Structure 1
Amino acid sequence: MSDRYVNEFYASLGLRPVVNAAATLTRLGGSLVAPPVVPAMAEAARHFVDIVELHRRVGQRLAELTRNDAAYVTSGAAAGLTLAVTACVSGAGGGTDPVAIEDLPYLDKTGERTVIVYGSQRNGYDYAVRQVGVRLVEVGPEPGELAAAIDGRTACVLWFAGAHFSSGALPLADVVRIAHEAGVPVLVDAAAQIPPVSSLWHFTSEVGADAAIFSGGKGLRGPQSTGLLVGREWVIAAARANGSPNHSIGRGLKVGKEELLGLLAAVEWTLAQDEPALLAAYEATVRGWVDGLAGLPGVQVERGYPSEAGQPHSRALVRIGPDSGWDRDRLVAALWACDPHIAVGEVDPNTIALNPQPLQDGEDEIVLRELRRLLADRPA
């Protein structure tokens, strides 16, 4: 193992670092932070500050950078979902109505509230919404279904971004039009939708959603424990009123001064990057994998597009046939047993995916070398 993969802190805990060819997954630490992030966090750690005012100033700067009316840093994208839905439930009074705030999450005084979602878009992040106390109402792809589901209890419509969520749901522009005609706000979960960086303003400023939520620790390469909520001023004001350090449902969703400056540094850095060149580099990596794994017995490899999160870049799909002597689970386990660990995506019972986005320079070659070594050696 090279010195590059020797981490004294991990080693002291008996842990090995990971070559991540899977995705910017929370269970693998998200992404590696951009170069300016750690210095910004270290500087923040050296001084006390008025957190409420820092939140406001950072939010103002992020709003300018992302071409939105307002912005707010959250403790991850799931927390952003919780606070955005809370804003829609309590936002009639700017989010500061003490009756509405104290009524969360049981809604005994204000009455039942619902959030409309597409049945095809239901996922594990439902919990971030349900903890507000709302009930989820499913609709299908016909325009009339959404309009019919909206009533006096509807707090908002939640729409999940990404090509992998598009089937079974109306396009966002149609959702916004139907919901806004009924006076209902629209939220977009876009946690993993960077790249493209234009997502930061596309869903809100261009398409018209009231707010969009992003992970700070995925494509933005900020602190893993951050998220970014952008959109209309009333949504952000209500989210802020119900978030830490205020005593409301979001009190536990705390963001420190270090994360605030770290995410700001990450967004500034991301917007300064050459995104077309970055995407071209991803494509070159995938071509290298496809070419390098071609011709191995029992193995089929092809370019898959888009990514597992519906982002506009490809990945290599490696199908493990019986003639290879391997099955998917044994191969995944063998890659994880390498030093450093190698993590890959799991697509179906016979296929793994290699994603270029989380890799550092040269790690694509490590992945290719270890895969070729394992696949050339039939297991006992």
Structure 2
Amino acid sequence: MLGRGAAVGGALTLGPLLGGEAVAAADAGLAAPALGKGPKTGYEAIGVRPLINGRGTYTVLSGSLMLPQVRDAIDRASRKYVQLDELADAIGKRLAELTKAEFGMVSSGASAALGHASAACVAGGNPDLHVRLPDLTGFKKTEAIIPKHSRNVYEAAVSATGLKIVEVDTRAELKAALGPQTALVYVFAMPRVDKHELNTETIAELAHAAGVPVLVDAAAEILTIPNVHLARGADLVAYSGGKCLRGPQSAGLLLGRKDLVKAAWMHSAPHHGWARGFKVGKEEAMGMLAAVEMWVQRDHKAEYATWTSWLRDIARRVSVVRGLTTKIVQPEGLSNRTPSLTILWNAEKLGVKGQTIVDALWNGEPRIAINAAGGSDPAQSGVSITPYMLERGDAKTIATELVKLLRDPPPAPEPPKPPTVNASGTWALDIRFTASRSTAHELKLTQDGAKITGTHTGEFVSRPVTGTVSGDEVTVRSHYGEEHGDALDFAFKGRLKGNGISGELDMGEYLKASWSATRKS
């Protein structure tokens, strides 16, 4: 991982990969190209506000910033033609040398790597099977096993190949589920997996006894060499290219067993079939290779020390505000390995909650993204800052803006009003999505004072709801958790009049819609 400005230890060259010329230091700036005329250029020219990223490598915040060496490799790759199968083979061999894995492949992101790996485990490079994916009618391999601890939204890349997901939670359940129909076992890398009965070593032992490969999703992790997941028995491991590695955001890595990685390439673009849309260009491929080349040269201890020093600087600067407590938290395990700074205070005494500060920074100038935080004491509120996507000078900027807001807090949200309506009952919903309309959703609500409880039933699933009533405004939230392999968050807000409600629906990552509801008699 690399926060902008961390030391890499001297001038570096990547030889033939980057044309043999000396490359800029890792903290060199990137001048945005002018887009249009006038004082605004780059993103600003089209009305998009750049931001200071104190949250981390979130895809929705565009991941990380590419290293200068990566940008240089992309530029050079864009100037000549190559045959993509030959390029994939050469990159695969070089990735094997760099990572000590048997073979490697560049994909269009970690999710695509999971999909191609799953296809390799199902069809094994057989084009007769490949062209039928995701219809597995008549296939021998039709199931993917996922331990309960690994269910998450990213497993959609596995089921997209047509595989049925089989959930297990114990060693006995895994052993019973394994069979000739099992294509693979998928593991989501995180600290809790190592402490579980079904850790990677145990899974690999049982899976290999049944002739089944193990695929690890390590998208947000650092790239360990030799690879810790392969050493624990995994056959394949997928990484994001645009997170810790600071390669192209639209690229990823698949490492592991040579036969399966080569089959995964055959099941990817430029070849036809279900995965044609997951195309990785020569530019991203060479940029991703450059990121791995740099990964093995970077001084990771110096980078970590730099991030920690930035957090200490923020803590020192905000200490001028009385009543704050600060703590630098060091991570556990391998995932997203970066320190973070938690700043807490008594919300009532200071007159502001952490989320209000987070919102003000997001809407301010400069635009700053950090997280809200809380403490063991319910009266405590605060913020959390992750440093490894920061650039030089960002720590001072964040501290300065925090001090301003904490000394002169923005107005608190308007307190709720006593309810003037009753939302109890069964409500038939009419939701107008971006390009469709649904009347299949239903809310069953019970109101007790200003509080609401109940259920939200959609097209396929039901989930519990909580909510509040302020005056005639009704707010209802439902959540369908990742333990099911999906994550759906709906926040209905509208005004109730008689037996009708209408307003806006916030669906989180799926943006917004409008809705209305009619109370059933």
Measured at CA, do residues 40 and 316 of structure 1 come closer, stay the same or move farther in structure 2, by a change above 3 Å? Answer: same
Per the TM alignment, residue 168 of structure 1 is displaced from its structure 2 partner at its CA by 4.8
* Mapped partners of 1:308, 1:334: distance in 2: 33
* Mapped partners of 1:29, 1:123: distance in 2: 21
User: 1:341 matched to which residue of 2?
Assistant: 367
Measured at CA, do residues 298 and 132 of structure 1 come closer, stay the same or move farther in structure 2, by a change above 3 Å? Answer: farther
Equivalent pair of 1:298/1:322 in contact (CA under 8 Å):
no
User: 1:81 matched to which residue of 2?
Assistant: 114
**Selected match of 1:224 from 249, 273, 276:** 249
How far does the alpha carbon of each residue in 1:154-186 deviate from its partner, in whole angstroms, 9 at most, with x for none?
111111113265565632122211211221110
User: 1:178 matched to which residue of 2?
Assistant: 206
User: 1:272 matched to which residue of 2?
Assistant: 297
* Mapped partners of 1:299, 1:277: distance in 2: 29
Per the TM alignment, residue 314 of structure 1 is displaced from its structure 2 partner at its CA by 1.6
Measured at CA, do residues 193 and 347 of structure 1 come closer, stay the same or move farther in structure 2, by a change above 3 Å? Answer: farther
Per the TM alignment, residue 123 of structure 1 is displaced from its structure 2 partner at its CA by 1.4
User: 1:315 matched to which residue of 2?
Assistant: 340
* Mapped partners of 1:31, 1:7: distance in 2: 23
Which deviates more, 165-174 or 326-335? 165-174
* Mapped partners of 1:169, 1:367: distance in 2: 42
Equivalent pair of 2:141/2:183 in contact (CA under 8 Å):
no
* Mapped partners of 1:15, 1:238: distance in 2: 40
Equivalent pair of 1:19/1:363 in contact (CA under 8 Å):
yes
Equivalent pair of 2:310/2:395 in contact (CA under 8 Å):
yes
* Mapped partners of 2:143, 2:68: distance in 1: 42
More strand by share: 2
Unaligned runs of 5+ in 1: none
User: 2:129 matched to which residue of 1?
Assistant: 100
Measured at CA, do residues 334 and 297 of structure 1 come closer, stay the same or move farther in structure 2, by a change above 3 Å? Answer: same
* Mapped partners of 1:306, 1:172: distance in 2: 20
Which deviates more, 263-272 or 319-328? 319-328
User: 2:384 matched to which residue of 1?
Assistant: 353
Measured at CA, do residues 241 and 301 of structure 1 come closer, stay the same or move farther in structure 2, by a change above 3 Å? Answer: same
**Structure 1 counterpart SS, 2:146:** strand
Which amino acid in the other structure matches residue 109 of structure 2? Answer: G
Per the TM alignment, residue 368 of structure 1 is displaced from its structure 2 partner at its CA by 1.3
Matched, 1:127 2:160: no
* Mapped partners of 2:409, 2:193: distance in 1: 38
Matched, 1:379 2:410: yes
Unaligned runs of 5+ in 2: 1-29, 33-38, 376-380, 412-521
**Structure 2 counterpart SS, 1:36:** helix
User: 2:105 matched to which residue of 1?
Assistant: 72
More helix by share: 1
Which amino acid in the other structure matches residue 137 of structure 1? Answer: V
Q: Which structure has the greater CA radius of gyration?
A: 2
How far does the alpha carbon of each residue in 1:139-158 deviate from its partner, in whole angstroms, 9 at most, with x for none?
22x32232222122211111
**Selected match of 1:190 from 204, 218, 221:** 218
* Mapped partners of 1:169, 1:364: distance in 2: 41
Which amino acid in the other structure matches residue 80 of structure 1? Answer: A
Within-5 A mapping of 1:130-279: 130-140=159-169, 142-163=170-191, 166=194, 168=196, 170-194=198-222, 197-198=223-224, 201-204=227-230, 206-279=231-304
* Mapped partners of 1:229, 1:344: distance in 2: 31
Per the TM alignment, residue 333 of structure 1 is displaced from its structure 2 partner at its CA by 1.2
Which amino acid in the other structure matches residue 361 of structure 2? Answer: L
User: 1:55 matched to which residue of 2?
Assistant: 88
* Mapped partners of 2:407, 2:263: distance in 1: 58
Which amino acid in the other structure matches residue 57 of structure 2? Answer: T
User: 2:70 matched to which residue of 1?
Assistant: 37
* Mapped partners of 1:198, 1:66: distance in 2: 8
Which deviates more, 272-281 or 106-115? 106-115
User: 1:21 matched to which residue of 2?
Assistant: 54
Which amino acid in the other structure matches residue 219 of structure 2? Answer: A
Which amino acid in the other structure matches residue 171 of structure 1? Answer: N
Normalised TM-score (structure 1): 0.90
* Mapped partners of 2:41, 2:192: distance in 1: 39
**Structure 1 counterpart SS, 2:153:** coil
**Structure 1 counterpart SS, 2:131:** helix
Equivalent pair of 1:83/1:243 in contact (CA under 8 Å):
yes
Measured at CA, do residues 200 and 292 of structure 1 come closer, stay the same or move farther in structure 2, by a change above 3 Å? Answer: farther
Which deviates more, 112-121 or 165-174? 165-174
Per the TM alignment, residue 19 of structure 1 is displaced from its structure 2 partner at its CA by 0.6
How far does the alpha carbon of each residue in 1:313-362 deviate from its partner, in whole angstroms, 9 at most, with x for none?
32012345422222233211111122221011345695532101101112
**Structure 2 counterpart SS, 1:125:** helix
**Structure 1 counterpart SS, 2:149:** helix
**Structure 2 counterpart SS, 1:318:** strand
* Mapped partners of 1:33, 1:61: distance in 2: 20
**Structure 1 counterpart SS, 2:198:** coil
Per the TM alignment, residue 363 of structure 1 is displaced from its structure 2 partner at its CA by 0.9
Per the TM alignment, residue 13 of structure 1 is displaced from its structure 2 partner at its CA by 0.7
Which amino acid in the other structure matches residue 178 of structure 2? Answer: I
**Selected match of 1:326 from 352, 368, 373:** 352
* Mapped partners of 1:239, 1:309: distance in 2: 25
How far does the alpha carbon of each residue in 1:186-232 deviate from its partner, in whole angstroms, 9 at most, with x for none?
011011111xx32662211x222101000011111111100000000
Normalised TM-score (structure 2): 0.67
* Mapped partners of 1:150, 1:348: distance in 2: 43
**Selected match of 1:366 from 397, 411, 436:** 397
* Mapped partners of 2:373, 2:165: distance in 1: 28
Equivalent pair of 1:320/1:326 in contact (CA under 8 Å):
no
